[in-house]
Amino acid sequence: MELTDKEIAERLVQTRNRLPQGVQLVAVSKTHPASAVLAAYKAGQRLFGENKVQEMTLKHNELPSDIEWHFIGHVQKNKIKLMAPYVSVIQGIDDFEALAEVDRQAARYGRTIKCLLQIHVAQEESKFGFTPQGVMDMLADGRWKDLSHVQIAGVMGMATNTDNEAQVISEFDTLVSLFHRIKDSYFAGCSGFGIISAGMSDDHELAIRAGSNMVRIGSAIFGARDYSL
Ligand SMILES: *Cc1c(COP(=O)(O)O)cnc(C)c1O
């Protein structure tokens, strides 16, 4: 059952008030109706995350235009053109071809789209992302430097869904050290490369302690998701 607008607003404010300064909140609204997004919007939230392009586009079309939409799912290349006119950040870039397609589509609209490189740090096979070696190889290859309509703005990662805190901490540590390695090697002194997107409802405190500066929180704000709808 969907939470009421008042409950959503309260949970949003509680979540936001617990975040340290400098940590951005992406409210993950996937599966929830546009009315739920609007309730959070009215409580001051502007960054929202979705993992299905069509669903995000429908919400984009009907909701206020100053919302920043973050695409947080696996990027299917044939769907990039649908979000290219408006998406703010694409968080799930996991190969060079996706980056090149974002560049092509962004160019058609005269835009530059921020992209985060998704790194596979979890021990679960189902999670997408570059391996740490794979992302370093992609960057060393250098072709990304010719893409003038994408801005590589940081990294994104998901930890294993486990109660083993030590494991979760170590996975977030891996992501954060890789961020610094990439920054030192390719983006030193470049303020545009600065985002470490890590942490969800259940593990964002550990992620923040490890150095995350962007959390993606869904169920703690909007309640449980019903995928059967
Ligand atoms: C769904 C999702 C989230 C939010 O998960 P919650 O556990 O509901 O906070 C965060 N990141 C990604 C990539 C997601 O798909």
Q: In this predicted structure, what is the pLDDT of residue 111?
A: 98
Q: In this predicted structure, what is the pLDDT of residue 228?
A: 67
Q: What residues are in contact with ligand 1 under a 6 Å CB criterion?
A: 28, 30, 51, 72-73, 158, 200-202, 216-220
Calculate how far, in angstroms, residue 71's C-alpha sits from the geometric centre of ligand 1.
Answer: 11
Q: Which residue, 182, 100, 111, is CA-closest to 196?
A: 182
> Could you tell me the sign of the dihedral formed by the alpha carbons of 17, 18, 20, 24, in that order?
negative
Asked if 217 contacts 13 with a C-beta cutoff of 8 angstroms, the reply is no
The tens digit of pLDDT for each residue in 94-127 reads 999 999 999 999 999 999 999 999 999 998 776 6
Closest atom of ligand 1 to 202 CA is 7
Q: Which residue, 117, 55, 120, is CA-closest to 91?
A: 117
DSSP state of 79: G
Atom 6 (ligand 1) nearest CA: 218
Calculate how far, in angstroms, residue 28's C-alpha sits from the geometric centre of ligand 1.
Answer: 6
The tens digit of pLDDT for each residue in 56-98 reads 999 999 999 999 999 998 999 999 999 999 999 999 999 999 9
Q: What is the share, in percent, of the chain residues with pLDDT greater than 70?
A: 98
Q: In this predicted structure, what is the pLDDT of residue 30?
A: 97
Distance of alpha carbon 5 from the chain centroid: 24
Q: In this predicted structure, what is the pLDDT of residue 229?
A: 55
Atom 7 (ligand 1) nearest CA: 201
What pTM was computed for the model? 0.97
Closest atom of ligand 1 to 204 CA is 9
